[in-house]
């Protein structure tokens, strides 16, 4: 399978072949044009997996919690995939070695798939790459797909918000609830976890978080706060139950389908905007005059953008 | 100035009127259509300010460092603005109270402007809102504009990378150098700071950081690592000097102008893509059929995006 045959790749993904799945996710990482045919080939077979996002500051214990949740899923007979989305760096090459070590207990289980994904080549970054990779794992028959993000910022929060159940992980001493609120993370959380619950300041963090949550308007789902010590697996059962409870609620009320539909439309809009951005880049490259006008401050960016829209629309 | 007169606003900004500057930044926050005229009115008067980005995990001491740098700037007779970019939350209302307290010593100085900016209404989020707000401060005559981001993720790294000198702040115990590398932050840093240098683990963090930096390919500018205790102002002089040294190097080698030109073009492309996204949204709203096709999995997102591009181009 060295020359890329997309039909073979689609067949491999749909059959749950691990090498095909890995190869397909590499296509997403690199932003290859074959993605469109791959997407067309698998799309009808997606929408079956439950998706869970795990987000939180570095060092809160997301990967250890993910390993615990994988164990719970496997004991329930559920095939599970973990996707660690990593806006990668040449210094690490996208290999989250520490995370892989923490996942080692699952390394030989054929029904567990673990993958770090960099998004260097993908236009639109991880916000567009992650949903496509999730669909590949979904189409390959993983019933639960967990998406772990590295970093806590606007883009990472969006990736977590694009899953069925967004889990926000905190730990005492690593940024307080107010800091999390600043990152816009409270609104998207369906389940909170205060990990390292045996450490000083954990009780205070839980109280602070409860207060913040009650400041906002009442929401149809009141996010529970699970308290865990991921390294000893304490509280992981309760966290699993909280995730399941949110999933059941979301399916029964129709909230899940409404959220999925809204995020699919947003994705289509973003993909269209990215295609258009490529067209705009091509126009600018062919005609450096407009670029010079902006650089020399004869035209401001908004007026230049309007002109670029006009020219790119005409450019077919 | 209750009804919005953009000409008055432009004149006020160019005259350095604080109320006009505050009002103009509010326009950016809300993504108001008047932005285009404002941008056109001030653009010729921008490009004079030096810009410095401050990014790092919550709790590393960015705001205290910023306060120290403001003091240094003022003692050199430089007018300075600090913009804290905050993907805001209804829970905090975008008010970074703690940060404002830390900046209190400068509150009455007419040559210091401090502002938290939320980016809720701005299409394209903080990556497009921040440069416009920086231009307003630049046009108002602030000679140094510091941009502080909250959160460490892909979008925040992009905002920092869009300044002349990107300063990355770390502290022992708050995510190690490997974690920062994961967020893609090492590549964009022009100056590193290890703050809270009196704490355990600081020396190790500096060593670890040096190692990571030497793993990558040699770069034309070798980022120095400043060591500070922001609360006592220890090391802030050396940090200020490191920032100045980078600025001088970048001006002399032409690296600054090349970076500014590249980011202006990227901004124009993004603005064009966002305008197009609005057109695409309008097409989808007028014709819910395409949305239904995707939701019902008869058309995959890439094919739907291609169709949307076709229709939006025709839609004038």
A105-132 confidence digits (pLDDT tens): 787 888 999 988 876 655 567 778 899 9
Q: Supply the DSSP string of B127-194, one letter for each residue.
A: HHHHHHHHHHHHHTT-SEEEEEESSBSHHHHHHHHTSSEEEEEE-TTSS-HHHHHHTT-TTT-SEEEE
Nearest to B183 by CA among B156, B215, B223: B156
**Cα four-point dihedral sign B31, B33, B37, B38:** negative
CB contact under 8 A, B284 and A291: no
Q: Is the pLDDT of residue A92 over 50?
A: no
Q: Is the pLDDT of residue A5 over 50?
A: yes
Which residues neighbour A104 within 8 Å (Cβ) at sequence distance 6 or greater? none
Which residues neighbour B64 within 8 Å (Cβ) at sequence distance 6 or greater? B102, B195, B230, B231
**Interchain contact B245–A (C-beta under 8 A):** no
Based on C-alpha coordinates, what's the Rg of chain B? Answer: 21
Instruction: Kindly give the interhelix angle for A255-286 and A236-253, rounded to the nearest 10 degrees.
Output: 90
Cross-chain CB nearest to A305 (options B272, B280, B306) = B272
- Determine the pLDDT at residue B3: 62
The phi, psi pair for A289, rounded to 5°, reads -60, -45
To the nearest whole Å, the CA of A217 is away from the closest chain B CA by 9
CB contact under 8 A, A89 and B313: no
Cross-chain CB nearest to B291 (options A36, A265, A291) = A265
CB contact under 8 A, B43 and A91: no
Q: What superfamily does domain B47-253 belong to in CATH? A: P-loop containing nucleotide triphosphate hydrolases (3.40.50.300)
Closest residue of B to A181, CA-based? B89
Which residues neighbour A250 within 8 Å (Cβ) at sequence distance 6 or greater? A164, A165, A190, A221, A256, A259
Side-by-side strand order, sheet with A165-170: A112-118, A80-86, A144-149, A50-55, A165-170, A191-194, A225-227
Cross-chain CB nearest to B58 (options A179, A284, A303) = A179
Q: How far apart are CA B229 and CA B70, in angstroms?
A: 16
Size of interface A-B (CB pairs under 8 A): 274
In a mutational test of the A interface, the residue from B159, B273, B310 whose CB has the highest number of chain A CBs within 10 Å is B273
To the nearest whole Å, the CA of B79 is away from the closest chain A CA by 23
| Coil, strand or helix at B117 | strand
The CATH architecture annotation of domain A46-253 reads 3-Layer(aba) Sandwich (3.40)
| Mean pLDDT lowest among A2-6, A252-256, B258-262, B266-270 | A2-6
Q: Is the pLDDT of residue A176 over 60?
A: no
To the nearest whole Å, the CA of A69 is away from the closest chain B CA by 22
pLDDT (tens, 9 = 90+) of chain B, 316 residues, equals 456 799 999 999 999 999 999 999 999 988 888 888 999 999 999 999 999 999 887 778 888 999 999 999 999 999 999 998 865 443 343 344 444 555 677 878 889 999 888 766 555 677 788 999 999 999 999 999 999 987 667 777 788 888 999 999 988 876 556 666 655 677 789 999 999 999 988 999 899 888 888 876 778 999 999 999 999 999 999 999 999 999 999 999 999 999 999 889 888 988 888 888 888 888 888 888 888 888 888 899 989 998 888 888 776 5
Pair of tokens at residue B81: 């603005």
- H or E stretch covering A69: helix A62-75
To the nearest whole Å, the CA of A75 is away from the closest chain B CA by 31
- Determine the pLDDT at residue B176: 56
Cross-chain CB nearest to B40 (options A216, A264, A302) = A302
- For chain A, percent of residues with pLDDT exceeding 90: 45
To the nearest whole Å, the CA of A161 is away from the closest chain B CA by 14
Looking at residue A227, the DSSP 8-state letter turns out to be: E
A180-215 pLDDT tens trace = 665 567 778 999 999 999 998 899 889 988 888 887
ipTM of the complex: 0.81
**Interchain contact B124–A (C-beta under 8 A):** no
CB contact under 8 A, A91 and B271: no
Domain ranges across chain A: 46-253, 267-314
Cross-chain CB nearest to B57 (options A58, A291, A294) = A58
Mean pLDDT, residues A216-229 taken together: 89
Q: Which residue has the higher pLDDT, A286 or A9?
A: A9
Cross-chain CB nearest to B91 (options A44, A92, A186) = A186
Q: Which residue has the higher pLDDT, B64 or A217?
A: B64
In this structure, are residues A101 and A94 in contact, taking their beta carbons and an 8 Å threshold? no
Cross-chain CB nearest to B92 (options A36, A178, A284) = A178
To the nearest whole Å, the CA of B203 is away from the closest chain A CA by 19
Which range of A35-49, A151-165, B105-119 scores highest in mean pLDDT? It is A35-49
To the nearest whole Å, the CA of B280 is away from the closest chain A CA by 6
Cross-chain CB nearest to A308 (options B184, B268, B302) = B268
CB contact under 8 A, B174 and A312: no
Which residues neighbour A240 within 8 Å (Cβ) at sequence distance 6 or greater? A69, A72, A73
- Determine the pLDDT at residue B313: 78
CB contact under 8 A, B275 and A86: no
Q: Is the pLDDT of residue A17 over 90?
A: yes
To the nearest whole Å, the CA of A71 is away from the closest chain B CA by 25
Q: Is the pLDDT of residue A311 over 70?
A: yes
Quote the distance between the C-alpha of residue A41 and its chain's center.
22
In a mutational test of the A interface, the residue from B86, B201, B216, B269 whose CB has the highest number of chain A CBs within 10 Å is B269
Q: Where are the beta strands (DSSP E) in chain A?
A: 50-55, 80-86, 112-118, 144-149, 165-170, 191-194, 225-227
pTM for the model: 0.79
- The 10 Å Cβ neighbour count of residue A37 is 18
Give the residue ranges of DSSP H helices in A83-195.
Answer: 97-102, 126-139, 154-161, 177-182
CB contact under 8 A, A174 and B284: no
How would residue A21 be classed by pLDDT, with cut points 50, 70 and 90? very high
Enumerate the residues of chain B whose CB falls inside 8 A of the CB of residue A152.
Answer: 57-58, 151-153
C-alpha triplet A219, A223, A228: angle, nearest 5°: 170
CB contact under 8 A, A312 and B277: no
To the nearest whole Å, the CA of A28 is away from the closest chain B CA by 13
CB contact under 8 A, A305 and B87: no
| Coil, strand or helix at B207 | helix
CB contact under 8 A, B186 and A277: no
Nearest to A247 by CA among A144, A131, A141, A112: A144
Q: Which residue has the higher pLDDT, A153 or B283?
A: B283
- Determine the pLDDT at residue A7: 95
CB contact under 8 A, B305 and A272: yes
Enumerate the residues of chain B whose CB falls inside 8 A of the CB of residue A58.
Answer: 57, 152, 175-176, 179-180, 182-183
The phi, psi pair for B4, rounded to 5°, reads -85, 110
**Interchain contact B87–A (C-beta under 8 A):** yes
Q: State chain A's mean pLDDT as an integer.
A: 85
Task: Name the A residues in 91-110 with CB < 8 Å from any B CB.
Answer: 91-92, 96, 98
């Amino acid at each position: 399978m060295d020359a890329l045959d997309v039909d073979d790749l689609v067949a491999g993904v749909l059959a749950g072949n691990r090498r095909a799945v890995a190869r397909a996710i590499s296509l997403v990482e690199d932003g290859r044009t074959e993605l469109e045919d791959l997407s067309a080939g698998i799309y009808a077979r997606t929408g079956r997996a439950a998706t869970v996002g795990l987000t939180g500051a570095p060092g809160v214990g997301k990967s250890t919690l993910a390993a615990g949740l994988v164990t719970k899923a496997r004991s329930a007979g559920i095939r599970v995939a973990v996707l660690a989305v990593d806006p990668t760096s040449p210094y690490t090459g996208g290999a989250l070695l520490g995370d892989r070590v923490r996942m080692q207990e699952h390394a030989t289980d054929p029904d567990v798939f673990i993958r770090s994904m960099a998004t260097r080549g993908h236009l639109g970054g991880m916000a567009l790459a992650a949903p496509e990779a999730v669909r590949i794992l979904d189409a390959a028959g993983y019933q639960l797909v967990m998406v772990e993000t590295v970093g806590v910022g606007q883009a990472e929060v969006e990736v977590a918000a694009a899953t069925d159940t967004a889990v926000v992980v905190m730990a005492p001493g690593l940024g307080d609830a107010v800091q999390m609120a600043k990152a816009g993370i409270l609104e998207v959380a369906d389940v909170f976890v205060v990990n390292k619950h045996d450490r000083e300041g954990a009780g205070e963090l839980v109280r602070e978080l409860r207060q913040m949550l009650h400041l906002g308007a009442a929401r149809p789902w009141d996010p529970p706060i699970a308290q865990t010590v991921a390294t000893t697996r304490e509280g992981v059962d309760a966290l699993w139950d909280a995730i399941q409870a949110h999933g059941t609620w979301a399916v029964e009320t129709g909230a899940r389908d409404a959220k999925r539909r809204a995020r699919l439309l947003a994705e289509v809009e973003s993909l269209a905007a990215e295609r258009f951005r490529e067209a705009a880049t091509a126009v600018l490259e062919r005609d450096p005059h407009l670029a010079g006008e902006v650089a020399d401050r004869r035209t401001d960016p908004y007026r230049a953008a309007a002109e670029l829209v006009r020219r790119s629309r005409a450019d077919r």
